[in-house]
Amino acid sequence: MGRRFILKALLAVMGVAAIFTCQAQSNDKKIAEQRRVIANLEKKIAEDERRIKQLKDNKSSTQERVRLLTRQISTRNDLLEANRRQMGLLDREIARTDSTARALSSDLAREKERYGETVRESYRNYRHGNYLTYLFSSGDFLDMSRRIVLLREAAAKRSERIERIRSLSDEVSQTLDTLTRRQASLDSVKRNLSAQKQRLQRDAQTARNTVRKLSSQEQQTLRNKLAREEQLSVAINELRKLTRGNKEGASFSRKTSNLRLPVVGGTVRRYKGNMAEIVGGKGAAIISIYEGKVLEIKRNRITNKYDVYIAHGQYISSYANLSDVDVAKGDKVARNQRIGTIGSSVNLTTMEMEYKLVFGIYAPTPNVQLKASDCFKK
């Protein structure tokens, strides 16, 4: 009975340990991936800083310096977000590891107490003499056989307790070592986050000072250049070919209106023909304006943000500057379905981070120009 109890307890602890190990491995992968993201962003920032230092001090290079600074500010903001995600992962892992360490320590204390009870029980049973005396005082052969079995079971129980104590001691030690390493990693990330915040403020101030050197016309030229970088990189005419025969969202037409803005809780900053610049809060959801089918998802090579294209029949809506996407190419989407998260951008006037979406709407043929404002008018 005692051995079965010990076996069940051991299997239960092993099961908990297995679950913890799987969770730990999963988190380890996420933490390692975040480290790679942070390393790539830091590399990108270093490259931009090197290019900025190489620029000559003249009007043309001033525009390029501002362009690079705005990109660096955006990248550094992404780096801040990556560090925050890393902190969250480490915080959760530390909490889980600490909980496991406490549970193992409790198990260890209980096992030590049980072992002590086993020793005390043996002492009580055999305190009047040694084991041989205990055996030879048997009433008959069957009694002696029974006592031999009891002695073996007692010895096995003590061995199991000792092995369990040793195993638990090792687990507690390893878990505490892991906890110490996680805490050191978290402290390092916190220091890095603080340093990046200071550098972000420095970059923004440098960019503002540099912009002041440009005339109004030069600033407008720069704004147009930055806007073009944020716009969609896929040829719409090529995408139009993919809409042929598409039945998803086929009820959409140029007369379709009263739709929700694609940025939840967002506001339109400006309309320009078939395009709309919509600002929103950090983490705001991006939704499809109508049911349809995901034609394409591209990553902008300059901004490193995502562009999503959705076909509504033969019409196409586009969503540029997403930080992440929740759909895949070929997916069917419902009206107002979440497709991703709004991405960050740099406001050239203030050099502060903001969150915005560049929305576009396209007719089946290029000679028909739609107005983005018509989609959302009441």
The domain limits of the chain are 2-209, 234-376
d(CA 314, CA 243): 5
| pLDDT higher than 70, residue 3 | no
Average pLDDT over the chain, rounded to an integer: 79
Task: Note the pLDDT of residue 16.
Answer: 47
Task: Read off the pLDDT of residues 229-268 as tens digits, 9 standing for 90 and up.
Answer: 555 545 788 889 889 889 999 999 988 999 999 999 999 9
Rounded to 5 degrees, what are φ and ψ at 295? -80, -45
For 317, the enclosing helix (H) or strand (E) is strand 315-325
- Helix, strand, coil % over all residues of the chain, rounded to 5: 60, 15, 25
Residue 222: count of CB within 10 angstroms of its CB: 19
Rounded to 5 degrees, what are φ and ψ at 241? -60, -30
d(CA 51, CA 64): 10
d(CA 114, CA 150): 18
d(CA 60, CA 83): 35
Task: Note the pLDDT of residue 137.
Answer: 60
| pLDDT higher than 80, residue 372 | yes
Considering 103-112, 178-187, 294-303, the range whose residues carry the highest mean pLDDT is 294-303
Distances (CA, A) of 75 to 33, 135, 182, 347: 17, 80, 26, 14
Q: Please state which of the four CATH numbers 2.40.30.10, 2.70.70.10, 3.20.20.140, 1.10.1060.10 is assigned to the domain occupying 234-376.
A: 2.70.70.10
Residue 100: count of CB within 10 angstroms of its CB: 23
| pLDDT higher than 60, residue 288 | yes
First to last CA, the chain: 77
Yes or no: say if 359 and 318 are a contact pair by the CB < 8 Å rule.
yes
Yes or no: say if 256 and 279 are a contact pair by the CB < 8 Å rule.
no
| pLDDT higher than 90, residue 310 | yes
pLDDT level of residue 44 (50, 70, 90 thresholds): confident
| pLDDT higher than 50, residue 5 | no
Please give the average per-residue pLDDT across 119-142, as a whole number: 59
